[in-house]
Amino acid sequence: MKKRLSRVVRQAHVLFAAEHFSRRVALYFHDLVPEYVGAFRDAVATFLELGYATVDPSEYAQDASDASRKLFVSFDDNYRSWFEALEIFDDLGIQCTFYVNTCPFRDVASRSTIDAYFDRIRYTGDRTPLSRSELRAISDAGHNIGCHTHTHFRLSGLPKEKWFEEIDSCKALLEDIVGHGVSDFSFPFGMRRHFSAPLRRYCRDLGFRTIATAIPAQLYAPHVDPFFIHRTGWKFDRPYTENLQNLKLDARMFGAAFGRSAIG
Ligand SMILES: [Zn+2]
């Protein structure tokens, strides 16, 4: 969507923003470089102070009949900065979920593979991915590890023969590293048009318990499909207040009609 149109769509939703946050708030981030650590702390602390507790994907997806306030903090892709932030997570007392691409582990991948990976996700910051032992340390610290495919291709554009190497192999590699089952998935790019009903069946048959999307402003949806977790991205380059406001928007109708983000 064009930038100006995006702003107009977002503003239209702001007019009808909810007064209070939903009882379940699912966020996603990407890298966590030092300059954004303060903003990350502020984002998470806002919800902790309101009585939210961080949960893993299964707990988040459970029936909404209980009145507890749940915060799902997740990260996508593959960045060494996650490992460097372990003390920060510890200090905040939060459990996070990391959806990991397995092709760029830096103790295995060549520089050209790593660069092709970061080109694909258009990341121009510090291009240092995790090593496998750093991922194991993140898992050992009590965080949850999920699958984000092997190479971060758009799954809806791939022939079915490629699903195995993108999804099954990512899952198997992660399970080998962390030493236990991996049963949560987030698909690359995260919008409805990047996934499909056959892919959903495939993932379910493979044993995934939850699938996280990047479809924002769906937090007020009634709890009808515990398989999907709709997450809203926190944008470090945008003001804190704008990010908080995004979490009070309800773009279910817009998202269903246009398959695109209502918050730009
Ligand atoms: Zn991604």
Cα of 187 from ligand 1 centre, angstroms? 7
Q: Please, are residues 89 and 40 in contact by the beta-carbon 8 Å criterion?
A: no
For residue 104, how far is the Cα from the chain centroid? 18
Q: State which residues form the domain around 235.
A: 3-258
Between the CA of 128 and the centroid of ligand 1 the distance, in Å, is: 15
pLDDT per residue as tens digits for the range 20-30:
788 889 999 99
What 3 state SS string does the chain have? CCHHHHHHHHHHHHCCCCCCCCCEEEEEECCCCHHHHHHHHHHHHHHHHCCCEECCHHHHHCCCCCCCCEEEEEEEECCHHHHHCHHHHHHHCCCEEEEECCCCCCCCCCHHHHHHHHHHCCCCCCCCCCCHHHHHHHHHCCCEEEECCCCCCCHHHCCHHHHHHHHHHHHHHHHHHHCCCCCEEECCCCCHHHCCHHHHHHHHHHCCCEEEECCCCCCCCCCCCCCEEECEECCCCCCHHHHHHHCCCCCHHHHHHHCCCCCC
Does residue 263 sit within a domain?
Answer: no
Q: Give me the number of domains the chain comprises.
A: 1
* Residues above pLDDT 90, as percent of the chain: 70
Q: How far apart are the CA of 121 and the centre of ligand 1, in A?
A: 7
Ligand 1 centroid to Cα of residue 188, in Å, is 5
In angstroms, rounded to a whole number, what is the distance separating the alpha carbons of residues 156 and 154?
A: 6
Within a domain: 168 = yes
Q: How many CA atoms lie within 13 A of 149 on its CB side?
A: 23
Q: What pLDDT score does 81 carry?
A: 98
Distance 129 CA to ligand 1 centre (A): 13
**Alpha carbon distance 256, 87 (integer Å):** 39
Q: Report how far ligand 1's centroid is from the alpha carbon of 145 (Å).
A: 14
Q: Is residue 188 part of a domain?
A: yes
What digits encode the pLDDT tens for the residues 69-90? Answer: 999 999 999 999 999 999 999 9
Q: pLDDT averaged over the chain?
A: 89
Within-domain flag for 151? yes
Give the residue from 224, 218, 212 showing the smallest Cα distance to 249.
218
Answer whether residue 80 is part of any domain: yes
CATH number for the domain that contains residue 55: 3.20.20.370
C-alpha of residue 91 to centroid of ligand 1, in Å: 26
What predicted TM-score, i.e. pTM, was given to this entire model?
0.89
Q: Is residue 117 part of a domain?
A: yes
Is 52 within the bounds of a domain? yes
Q: Is residue 264 part of a domain?
A: no
pLDDT tens, residue by residue, 184-231: 999 999 888 888 999 999 999 999 999 999 887 666 666 667 788 999
Ligand 1 centre from 189 Cα, in Å? Answer: 6
Q: Tell me how far the alpha carbon of residue 212 lies from the centroid of ligand 1, in angstroms.
A: 11
Distances (CA, A) of 173 to 16, 148, 150, 207: 44, 12, 9, 15
pLDDT: which is higher, 108 or 6: 108
Ligand 1 center to residue 154 CA distance, Å? 10
